[in-house]
């Protein structure tokens, strides 16, 4: 059986039409719909209650408006199917697409299917420029968390088992993203659909939800923390590298009486080398088996040289054209160069 969970808040004009369309689209599949309403002032809950006579429908009316994600999770708790679906109530998600989305799950080809506006063939109708930008921006911020093109989607189907015993965070709007990051699925696929803007009622996505989303992202990032952890370690190694650099420079000039410019080059090489070793064994915890260390070291050297050029370039631009104090400019420049070095190290040198 499939259970389709629909969170509702003030969707009186939409709910009946949607339920009718869902059951029409699912004629040949055993289907239940779970409406989770937060005591909508417009009486959506009562409208839904009446439909129970006609359809295999459950209505959960909660006392307070506690958000979309938590509504979906409460719906999952009372759903009896082994496949769960989630749809908005406002007809933005086409019931006609349900069968197509269920097929890969029923055929055993996927255990998580996401309706995608941004996959090839997907589309959005009638969105304001502002909404498009917000959506794209939010999607961009989630990029490192998933390979999916539309991780913000509120339209998806999954095998119940992929969230069994998974501790899902009930805050905010993005329950789909939460499942993408924490769910125990093996195959996730995206299928395109056209998102239609609602005809009745208003979107509940407000400023508070933007803030919730950013907090949610932080939590997901720390959940996935390995990359941040690595970045943190990479910065510590970078700090050690600076100390090594200064010590070598000082020693060569003071004790060996070398020219400071020549000493600086030697100091750079020594610091890059010690950073290489520390990053290899600590930051990225690499075993050297089968890896050609000399080649890897050369790559790391190249990354560091590029980092140095970026550092100097940013410093020059900020001071010359931005009129920034050179110390502040150098801090910014170090930040940019560190990012370059980290990305180069993680995805090229130690990949
Ligand atoms: N029970 C309950 N409680 N339902 C809620 C709440 C709540 O606090 N807030 C929103 N809903 C319901 C709405 O009634 C609707 O059925 C659904 O959740 C989506 O809300 P909309 O207000 O229509 O959201 P949207 O259209 O701005 O956003 C949708 O599209 C986005 C794509 O950009 C959602 O599907 C988002 O998840 C999606 O990212
Ligand atoms: Mn909507």
Alpha-carbon gap, residue 272 to 156, rounded angstroms: 48
Instruction: For residue 90, report the distance from its CA to the centre of ligand 2, in Å.
Output: 6
Those residues whose C-beta lies under 8 Å from the C-beta of residue 307, and which sit 6 or more positions away, are: 337, 338, 340, 341, 344
Instruction: For residue 163, report the distance from its CA to the centre of ligand 2, in Å.
Output: 25
Distance of CA 237 to the CA centre of its chain: 27
Residues 233-279: tens digit of each pLDDT = 999 999 999 999 999 999 999 999 999 999 999 999 999 999 999 99
Residues 267-309: tens digit of each pLDDT = 999 999 999 999 999 998 876 677 789 999 999 999 999 999 9
Residues 5-34: tens digit of each pLDDT = 999 999 999 999 999 999 999 999 999 999
The residue to mutate among 9, 92, 193, having the most atoms of ligand 1 within 8 angstroms of its beta carbon, is: 9
Neighbour-count burial for 122-139, b at 16+ CB within 10 Å, e otherwise: bebeeeeeeeeebbeebb
The stretch 171-196 carries a mean pLDDT of 95
Q: Which ligand 1 atom sits closest to the C-alpha of 6?
A: 16
Q: Which residues line ligand 1 (CB under 6 A)?
A: 7-9, 11, 36-38, 65, 67-68, 71, 88-90, 92, 135, 152, 154, 173, 203-205
User: Longest Cα pair distance anywhere in the chain, in angstroms?
Assistant: 94
Closest ligand, as measured to the CA of 88: 1
The stretch 129-133 carries a mean pLDDT of 89
168: tokens are 């899902």
The class of domain 2-223 in CATH terms is: alpha beta
Instruction: For residue 202, report the distance from its CA to the centre of ligand 1, in Å.
Output: 10
The residue to mutate among 4, 7, 124, having the most atoms of ligand 1 within 8 angstroms of its beta carbon, is: 7
Whose Cα sits closest to atom 13 in ligand 1?
8
Closest ligand, as measured to the CA of 172: 1
Whose Cα sits closest to atom 29 in ligand 1?
154
Whose Cα sits closest to atom 32 in ligand 1?
153
For 270-317, give the secondary structure using H, E and C.
Answer: HHHHHHHHHHHHHHCCCCCCCCCHHHHHHHHHHHHHHHHHHHHHHHHH
Neighbour-count burial for 293-320, b at 16+ CB within 10 Å, e otherwise: eeebbebbbebbeebeebbeebbeebbe
Residues 36-67: tens digit of each pLDDT = 999 999 999 999 999 999 999 999 999 999 99
Alpha-carbon gap, residue 89 to 204, rounded angstroms: 12
Whose Cα sits closest to atom 19 in ligand 1?
88
Q: What is the mean pLDDT of the chain?
A: 94
Residues 311-331: tens digit of each pLDDT = 999 999 999 999 999 989 988
Instruction: For residue 315, report the distance from its CA to the centre of ligand 2, in Å.
Output: 46
The answer to whether the beta carbons of residues 112 and 190 sit under 8 Å apart is: no
Instruction: For residue 222, report the distance from its CA to the centre of ligand 2, in Å.
Output: 29
Instruction: For residue 212, report the distance from its CA to the centre of ligand 2, in Å.
Output: 17
Closest ligand, as measured to the CA of 174: 1
The stretch 84-106 carries a mean pLDDT of 97
Closest ligand, as measured to the CA of 38: 1
Q: What is the percent of the chain with per-residue pLDDT over 90, rounded to a whole number?
A: 82
Q: Which ligand 1 atom sits closest to the C-alpha of 67?
A: 8
Residues 156-179: tens digit of each pLDDT = 999 999 999 899 988 889 999 999
Given the structure tokens 């370039």, which residue do they identify? Answer: 313
User: What are φ and ψ of residue 191, in 5° steps?
Assistant: -120, 135
Q: What is the percent of the chain with per-residue pLDDT over 70, rounded to a whole number?
A: 99
Q: Per-residue pLDDT for 225 more than 80?
A: no
Q: Per-residue pLDDT for 104 more than 80?
A: yes
Whose Cα sits closest to atom 33 in ligand 1?
135
CA angle 148, 65, 128 (to 5 degrees): 50
Instruction: For residue 222, report the distance from its CA to the centre of ligand 1, in Å.
Output: 25
Instruction: For residue 68, report the distance from its CA to the centre of ligand 1, in Å.
Output: 6
pLDDT score for 288: 64
In 3D, which of 238, 226, 236 has the Cα closest to residue 303? 238
Query: Edge to edge, what strands does the sheet with 188-192 contain?
Result: 57-61, 31-37, 2-8, 83-86, 156-159, 112-116, 188-192
Instruction: For residue 289, report the distance from its CA to the centre of ligand 2, in Å.
Output: 52
């Amino acid at each position: 059986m499939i259970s389709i969970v629909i969170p509702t808040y003030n969707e009186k004009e939409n709910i009946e039409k949607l339920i009718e369309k869902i059951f029409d689209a699912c004629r040949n599949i055993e289907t239940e719909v779970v409406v989770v309403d937060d005591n909508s002032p417009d009486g959506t809950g009562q409208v839904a209650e009446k439909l129970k006579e006609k359809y295999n429908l459950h209505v959960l009316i909660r006392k307070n408006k506690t958000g979309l994600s938590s509504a979906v999770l409460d719906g999952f708790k009372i759903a009896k199917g082994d496949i769960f679906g989630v749809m908005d109530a406002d007809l933005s998600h086409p019931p006609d697409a349900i069968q197509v989305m269920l097929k890969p799950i029923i055929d055993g080809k996927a255990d998580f299917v996401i309706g995608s506006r941004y996959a090839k063939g997907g589309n959005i109708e009638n969105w304001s420029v502002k909404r498009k930008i917000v959506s794209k921006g939010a999607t961009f911020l989630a990029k490192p968390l998933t390979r999916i093109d539309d991780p913000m989607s509120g339209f998806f189907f999954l095998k119940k088992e992929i969230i069994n015993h998974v501790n899902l965070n009930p805050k905010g709007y993005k329950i789909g993203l939460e499942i993408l990051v924490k769910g125990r699925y093996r195959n996730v696929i995206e299928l395109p659909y056209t998102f239609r803007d609602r005809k009745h009622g208003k979107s509940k996505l407000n400023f508070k939800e933007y803030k919730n989303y950013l907090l949610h992202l932080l939590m997901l990032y720390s959940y996935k923390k390995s990359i941040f952890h690595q970045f943190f370690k990479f910065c510590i190694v970078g700090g050690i590298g600076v100390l090594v650099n200064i010590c070598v420079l000082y020693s060569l000039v003071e004790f060996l009486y070398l020219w400071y410019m020549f000493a600086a080059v030697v100091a750079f090489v020594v610091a890059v080398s010690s950073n290489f070793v520390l990053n290899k064994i600590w930051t990225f915890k690499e075993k050297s088996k089968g890896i050609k260390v000399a080649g890897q070291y050369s790559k790391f050297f190249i990354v560091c040289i590029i980092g140095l050029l970026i550092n100097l370039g940013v410093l020059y631009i900020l001071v010359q054209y931005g009129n920034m104090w050179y110390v502040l400019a150098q801090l910014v420049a170090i930040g940019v160069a560190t990012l370059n070095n980290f990305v180069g190290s993680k995805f090229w040198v130690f990949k």
